[in-house]
C-alpha cells in the first residue's frame, strides 16, 4: 500500500496540539471544560459527576473546570497543579490539550506542556488586563518557538462585554508582542463561564467580527510549522527479522525529525560519513515513496553501512551542526540546583551521551525577565543559559530552525530523573537575547 502526497498532507494536518497558560483564576480549566462541553466531547457519566459536584459545592453555574482538575487535591485547593492532557475531536480536526498551571512555581509544567505545542492560548482576565504573568507566559511561548498564539480576553461578562476594555488590552498586548518572535497572534473576547465566543459566536458582543475560539483552532494552518527543508532521520533502532521470509532485511527505524526522504535519495550516515541511497521506505501503512516529519518509518539502504541507535541519516549537502560544545537555554526541573562542572546524561533525539556543564552564563529572572549574570544559580523552575561539553559529538540544528533536532533533556545519572529541558542556540550568540522591551527595563 502506498501513501500519496495528499494522504500524508492530511495526516500532518489532522492533529493540533495546543497549550493553555494564564494567571491563577484566569479561567483556563473552565475554558477547556467549556470547549469539551459545547463541542459534545464529554460522556454522560462525566457530565452527571460534574453536575453532582457542582450541586454539592452550592455553585450557581455548572463547574466545567472539574473536567480538567481531575485530582482530588486540585479540587480541594481550587487550583490546577499539574499538566493535564485532554483529547477531543471535531469533524474537522483532532486535538490534544495541555492545561498548565498559572503559578510561578510551576513554570516547568508550562515548559513541559508547551514543548510540543503548535499553538498556545494565553488567557487574560478582562478586569486585570496585561499583567506580569501574561508577559512571562508569552516570553516562554516565544522561547519555545510556538508558531501560533491566541490571546483570549476572558470574563468579558464581568466588564459588561464592553468593546473598549477589549480594545485597550489588544493595544497593550500588541505593543508587547511586536517585540517578540511570534508571527501569528489572534485576539478573541470570550466568557468561558457562559460560552461566549468559545464554540459559538456571541450575540452579546456583536462588535466582535472575528471567529470563535473553536473555529480558530479548527482552521489554523499548521502545515508549514514543521521543518520540511532540512532532512533529518535519527535512527532509533535497527530491524533485522532474521526470518526465512526476510533473511537479508536490514532496516533503520525512527521518526523523521525534518525534511523529506524519498526512495532513491542519496543519504549520508552520521557520524561515519558513509553515503548510500534509499532502497525502500516502510511505514505502518506499508511501502511508501516518501516520508516527512513527523512520520515514523523504516529506511533500507542500497549499501551495507554500519549504523546504530543514535546515528542520523541526512542529505550530503545539508548536514546539521556537529559539535561537542552546545549552548542552550535550559529550564530546570529538579529541586537540586544545576552544578557548574556537574555531570549529566544528555538525551538528544535518539542519542544519549554524557556531558559536563562547563559554564552557567546567566539566569533569567522569571518575574522581571532580566538577565542575572553575576554568580547565577539555576534551581527548580528557573530558566537560564548554559554551555555543555559532551563526551561525543551531537548532530543538531538551532531550536529556532528545528524544534526536534534543536532540543535536549538532561538526566541525573544517579536517579535517572529528568532534571532539565534545553533549547539549543546555534550559531548566533544573539539568539539568546530577550525581547527588546526588557532592555528598556534595564534587564540587559
Whether residues 127 and 159 share a domain: the answer is yes
Task: Evaluate whether 235 touches 222 at the Cβ level (below 8 Å).
Answer: no
Domain that residue 152 falls in = 5-219
Domain count, the chain: 3
Residue 61 is predicted with a pLDDT of 64
Asked whether residue 226 is assigned to any structural domain, the reply reads no
Residue 367 is predicted with a pLDDT of 64
pLDDT in tens, 289-298: 999 988 999 9
Whether residues 362 and 301 share a domain: the answer is no
Share of the chain above pLDDT 90, in %: 53
Residue 12 is predicted with a pLDDT of 43
pLDDT mean over 160-189: 90
Whether residues 181 and 200 share a domain: the answer is yes
Task: Evaluate whether 422 touches 378 at the Cβ level (below 8 Å).
Answer: no
Whether residues 111 and 188 share a domain: the answer is yes
Give 442's contacts (C-beta < 8 A, 6+ positions apart). 370
Query: Which of 185, 219, 253 represents a domain boundary (last residue)?
Result: 219
**Which residue's entry shows cell 523523521?**
256
Whether residues 193 and 298 share a domain: the answer is no
Low-confidence winner among 24-28, 359-363, 440-444 (lowest mean pLDDT)? 440-444
pLDDT in tens, 100-150: 665 555 566 677 777 788 999 999 999 999 988 888 788 888 888 898 999
- Please choose, from the candidates 27, 105, 96, the residue with its C-alpha nearest in 3D space to the C-alpha of residue 61: 27
Share of the chain above pLDDT 70, in %: 79
Asked whether residue 150 is assigned to any structural domain, the reply reads yes
pLDDT band at 29 (very low <50, low <70, confident <90, very high): confident
Whether residues 181 and 50 share a domain: the answer is yes
Report the alpha-carbon distance of residue 194 to residue 38 in Å, rounded.
Answer: 10
pLDDT mean over 207-216: 96
pLDDT mean over 293-322: 94
Residue 400 is predicted with a pLDDT of 86
Residue 209 is predicted with a pLDDT of 95
The domain that holds 156 is classified in CATH as: 3.40.50.300
Whether residues 284 and 386 share a domain: the answer is no
The domain that holds 332 is classified in CATH as: 2.40.30.10
Whether residues 44 and 156 share a domain: the answer is yes
Asked whether residue 294 is assigned to any structural domain, the reply reads yes
Query: Which of 314, 340, 373 represents a domain boundary (last residue)?
Result: 314
pLDDT in tens, 387-430: 999 999 999 999 989 999 999 999 999 999 999 999 999 754 44
Report the alpha-carbon distance of residue 364 to residue 384 in Å, rounded.
Answer: 5
pLDDT band at 171 (very low <50, low <70, confident <90, very high): very high
Residue 245 is predicted with a pLDDT of 66
95 φ/ψ angles, rounded to the nearest 5 degrees: -135, 145
Longest dimension (CA), the chain: 74
Asked whether residue 285 is assigned to any structural domain, the reply reads yes
Amino acid at each position: 500500500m502506498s501513501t500519496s502526497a495528499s494522504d500524508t498532507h492530511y495526516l500532518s494536518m489532522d492533529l493540533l496540539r495546543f497549550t493553555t497558560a494564564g494567571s491563577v483564576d484566569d479561567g483556563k480549566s473552565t475554558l477547556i471544560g467549556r470547549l469539551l462541553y459545547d463541542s459534545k466531547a464529554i460522556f454522560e457519566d462525566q457530565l452527571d459527576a460534574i453536575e453532582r459536584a457542582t450541586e454539592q459545592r452550592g455553585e450557581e453555574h455548572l463547574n466545567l473546570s472539574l473536567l480538567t482538575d481531575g485530582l482530588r487535591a486540585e479540587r480541594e485547593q481550587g487550583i490546577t497543579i499539574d499538566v493535564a492532557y485532554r483529547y477531543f475531536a471535531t469533524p474537522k480536526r483532532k486535538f490534544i490539550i495541555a492545561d498548565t498551571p498559572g503559578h510561578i512555581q510551576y513554570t516547568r509544567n508550562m515548559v513541559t506542556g508547551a514543548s510540543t505545542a503548535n499553538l498556545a492560548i494565553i488567557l487574560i482576565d478582562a478586569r486585570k488586563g496585561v499583567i506580569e504573568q501574561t508577559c512571562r507566559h508569552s516570553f516562554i511561548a516565544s522561547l519555545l518557538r510556538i508558531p501560533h498564539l491566541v490571546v483570549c480576553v476572558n470574563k468579558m461578562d464581568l466588564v459588561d462585554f464592553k468593546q473598549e476594555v477589549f480594545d485597550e488590552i489588544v493595544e497593550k498586548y500588541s505593543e508587547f508582542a511586536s517585540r517578540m518572535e511570534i508571527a501569528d497572534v489572534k485576539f478573541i473576547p470570550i466568557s468561558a463561564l457562559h460560552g461566549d465566543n468559545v464554540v459559538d459566536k456571541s450575540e452579546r458582543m456583536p462588535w466582535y467580527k472575528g471567529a470563535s475560539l473553536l473555529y480558530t483552532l479548527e482552521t489554523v494552518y499548521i502545515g508549514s510549522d514543521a521543518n520540511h527543508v532540512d532532512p533529518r532521520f535519527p535512527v532509533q533502532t535497527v530491524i533485522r527479522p532474521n526470518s526465512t521470509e526476510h533473511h537479508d532485511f536490514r532496516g533503520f527505524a525512527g521518526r523523521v525529525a525534518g525534511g523529506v526522504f524519498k526512495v532513491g535519495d542519496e543519504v549520508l550516515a552520521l557520524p561515519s560519513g558513509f553515503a548510500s541511497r534509499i532502497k525502500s521506505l516502510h511505514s505502518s501503512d506499508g511501502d511508501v515513496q516518501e516520508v516527512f516529519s513527523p512520520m515514523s518509518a523504516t529506511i533500507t539502504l542500497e549499501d551495507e553501512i554500519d549504523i546504530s541507535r543514535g546515528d542520523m541519516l541526512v542529505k550530503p549537502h545539508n548536514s546539521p551542526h556537529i559539535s561537542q560544545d552546545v549552548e542552550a537555554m535550559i529550564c530546570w526541573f529538579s529541586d537540586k540546583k544545576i552544578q557548574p562542572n556537574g555531570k549529566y546524561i544528555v538525551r538528544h533525539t535518539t542519542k544519549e551521551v554524557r556531558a559536563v556543564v562547563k559554564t552557567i552564563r546567566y539566569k533569567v529572572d522569571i518575574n522581571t525577565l532580566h538577565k542575572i549574570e553575576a554568580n547565577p544559580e539555576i534551581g527548580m523552575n528557573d530558566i537560564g543559559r548554559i554551555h555543555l561539553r559532551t563526551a561525543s559529538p551531537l548532530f543538531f540544528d538551532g531550536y529556532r530552525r528545528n524544534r526536534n533536532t534543536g532540543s535536549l533533556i538532561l538526566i541525573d545519572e544517579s536517579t535517572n530523573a529528568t532534571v532539565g529541558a534545553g533549547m539549543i542556540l546555534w550559531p548566533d550568540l544573539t539568539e539568546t537575547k530577550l525581547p527588546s522591551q526588557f532592555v528598556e527595563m534595564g534587564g540587559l
